Chain A
Amino acid sequence: MNLFDYFRPSSTAEAVAAASEPGAAYLAAGTNLLDLMKTGAKRPGRLVDITRLPGLDRIEQMPDGAIRIGAMVRNADLARDKDFAAAYPAVAEALLSGASAQLRNAATVGGNLMQHTRCAYFQDPASACNRRAPGTGCDAIGGENRTHAVLGWSDACIATHPSDFSVPLVALDAMVEIEGLDGPREVALDDFHRLPGETPERETVLAPGELVTALRLPAESRAFSANQRYLKLRERTSFAFALVSAMAALDIEDGTIRAARLALGGVAAKPWRARAAEALLVGQSPGIAIFEEAARAALADAMPSGQNAFKIELARRTASRVLLLAAAGAPERMPALPASTFGTTPGALSYV
């Protein structure tokens, strides 16, 4: 790990000023950043510790019905918040399907958005990686790439964003609140992460020094509480990143879908909202045929970026399956194995 200056600001303004200097990085729990610093993939000259900034660790109900989640709320605390989990069961399930209990106790909501790809070439400073070191090339292309992107990738980068949490959030129209040198602003989560194009090193739309202070789920997203699920396919049942994941949310009235949300994870450099699929579902009755049609629409533009053609069919099946799960309803209790297709509970809603 490189040597760095450690700075603990006492206000957001002080943090933003300190982090606007070249080479500075924000430190929250550090569960991803310290790991990357140990491998040498990240070498910040200054760490600005934001864990003590006042007011960033609250889950607040807003007057307009929105819910606001401070960037320093820990993943486990959000998943365990009873009101939040009742309103957004698939968000809680996505959180609990990620990492391990120890990591969820430390990792923050803001850090979850800001985490980097788990592409092995990004993490290894000896490998060529346009995302880590612009212009060096991409060793993932033509390399070990069976877990890489099938949507939105470019000839410069085929990495995926690893977050589970972001997948339901993008489906539910989450907004990201940001503080910067020029004051506060907000962007839709769907516009927050960038596709690689020719500049994969620019992972988000944040300007230098800009800090994610909160996430907000709009009041309208509450319409989906009863019928939403997150489903995650991975190479072992627990403590693994998604090969492919999907979140579906349905607003069903009198047997008709009034509104639908569908997003995919593990398939692109950002959580992937499938709007064409959503449009197909509106006005339909829930059922396997229309769900499979929606799943096909969601993957219509998918292309393998290497040895990962299997992920396209896997994503289709995951999407139609999660729509079935959502139509069956959010479970009464968090499944023992969150977001898993496996489970030993008799009659569990995991089986559709």
Chain B
Amino acid sequence: MKISKIATADPASRLDNNAKLINEKGLLWRLTDRASETRGKMFIYSSALLMIVAVIAITLFLMIQGLRAFVVDHLNFWTFITGTQWYPDRTVNPSYGAFPFIFGSMAVTFLAALIATPIAIGTAIFMAELAKKWGTKVMQPVIEILVGIPSVVYGLIGLSIIVPFMRQHFGGSGFNLLAGAIVVGIMILPTVASIAADSIRAVPDSLRQASYAIGATKWQTIWRVVIPAAGSSLVTAIVLGMSRAFGEALAVQMVIGNVTKLPGSIFDPSATLTTIITLSMGHSTMGSVLNDALWSLGFLLLLISYVFIVIIRFLSRRRNA
């Protein structure tokens, strides 16, 4: 590029120009600056490009690997996602019905949201409305530290506190759906709370003042004015938390019991998409039907997280409009 430009320029005038620039003692500086501008821009643009490439590559490769079960091994897609019999090891008539895992993932996600939402929104209101000083001085660090605690640690604590508790009070082994939901619910608490607090803070003060001016109490203001105004961003916070709950693997696996059967109640052990993948991946040989089926579950996981992303985008678009 540069060479061709120089070549096409009139040589005489270029020399003249160069001399002038050198006289101004700025040539070198300018040249390097321009080169660095191009280089910097190139680097920045390629970084942006890389992110696109990463997303496309992840989707594409997981899709190729995930569709093998249907294309190469001829599993029926419909019976795969609706079947309730997961017997890959059976010597006669092995069956791959992944519905119990899909159901388990959904159940854990919704239960976790159910557990986390009230506490998280309450905390958010506390931070953003009631005690702003306390909110930033105490609760903000509390939330940040909670976000930082690794998920395996949550799982470990679930294993050593929640599971024995369940066993004592509800019988059975103590490993069950509810234990998984509680562990994940606590895990997503801080995420939901901090986003919810941000969205409550974003509600303009004029609304609150108007509400107080007509004699509303603090709670009436919060309930009738602030929460509706923050509305869809609060929902976004919850959905984000749910998407995190949905993808959590190891913490859930440690407490849910991993039973490949539809649970009859929340006190039954269960399994999720993520737990069956982590549990069986190492035992299956690459290219076997079980392995392919696990990759299909991984692809399914990816698709469902796309659904979450679409929901979040939809919510935020509605907010901006």
Pairing of A with B:
no
